[in-house]
């Protein structure tokens, strides 16, 4: 039973718009004016709802990872470690060049290096990337236990590798690489996971 005047905008819709601005310009490159403009609200509404610029970023990151969480679940549901890597990297090649979104990945575009006062933004993004990596690692641990990966393989290293390739592809996408170019990278990258798979 909330009191007072009700909010006139939908927070999630507004977050989607904010997400896109951060995605395209990065945390420091995005201005409050651009954000409020895209969200269709005025600064006081933004601050009342999200606290400050960094709070808005975190809310956008939460929404981003939530939206991608479902997809990541599909990825790790693949039958083998090799298929997980392929589904992940091919999917990323498509997603990062989807014209419906800015190119690349918000968890990279958001801000890799930041100035004084925003030092924890890069860490915030890194923490979210680490979540994906952990999910991959757990999947590869299982693959090793199932005999799908070689007994000598290192699931954590494999997960870190797939994560690194994803990030690299994201940077390439943001600087103009097209879908076909990214798919070729994914295709090569999968072969390293294949090399760690048990013979059949």
Partner DNA sequence: CCATATATGTAGTGTTCACTACAGATGTGG
Partner DNA sequence: CCACATCTGTAGTGAACACTACATATATGG
- Binding status of residue 4 toward DNA by CB under 7 A: yes
Please give the angle made by the CA atoms of 18, 22 and 26, to the nearest 5 degrees. 165
SS3 state at 103: coil
- Binding status of residue 92 toward a second copy by CB under 8 A: no
Distance CA 187, CA 192 (A): 10
Q: Which does 118 bind (CB under 5 to 8 A by kind): a second copy, DNA, none?
A: a second copy
- Binding status of residue 90 toward DNA by CB under 7 A: no
- Region of 8-16, 47-55, 136-144, 149-157 interacting with a second copy (CB under 8 A): 149-157
> Where would I find the H helices in 146-178?
155-174
Contacts with a second copy by CB under 8 A: the residue count is: 57
Of 131, 117, 129, the C-alpha closest to 54 is: 117
Q: Which is nearer to a second copy, 23 or 50 (CB)?
A: 23
Residue of 114, 136, 143, 149 that binds a second copy (CB under 8 A): 114
| DSSP code of residue 180 | H
Q: Which residues contact 79 (CB under 8 A, 6 or more apart)?
A: none
Q: Which residues make up the interface to a second copy (CB under 8 A)?
A: 23-26, 28-31, 34, 104, 108-116, 118, 122-123, 125-126, 129, 154, 156-158, 160-161, 163-169, 171-172, 174-177, 181, 184-185, 187-196
């Amino acid at each position: 039973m909330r009191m007072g005047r009700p909010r006139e905008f939908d927070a999630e819709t507004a977050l989607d718009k904010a997400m896109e601005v951060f995605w395209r310009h990065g945390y420091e490159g995005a201005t409050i004016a651009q954000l409020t403009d895209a969200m269709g609200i005025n600064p006081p509404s933004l601050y009342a709802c999200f606290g400050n610029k960094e709070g808005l970023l975190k809310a956008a990151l939460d929404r981003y990872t939530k939206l991608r969480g479902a997809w990541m679940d599909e990825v790790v549901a693949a039958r083998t470690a090799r298929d997980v890597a392929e589904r992940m990297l091919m999917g990323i090649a498509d997603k990062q060049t989807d014209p419906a979104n800015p190119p690349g990945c918000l968890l990279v575009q958001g801000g890799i290096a930041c100035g004084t006062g925003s030092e924890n933004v890069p860490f915030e993004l890194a923490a979210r990337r680490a979540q994906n990596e952990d999910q991959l690692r757990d999947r590869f641990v299982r693959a090793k236990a199932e005999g799908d990966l070689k007994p000598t393989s290192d699931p954590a290293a494999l997960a870190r590798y797939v994560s690194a390739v994803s990030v690299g592809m994201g940077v390439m996408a943001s600087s103009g690489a097209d879908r076909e170019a990214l798919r070729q990278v994914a295709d090569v990258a999968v072969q390293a996971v294949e090399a760690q798979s048990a013979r059949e």
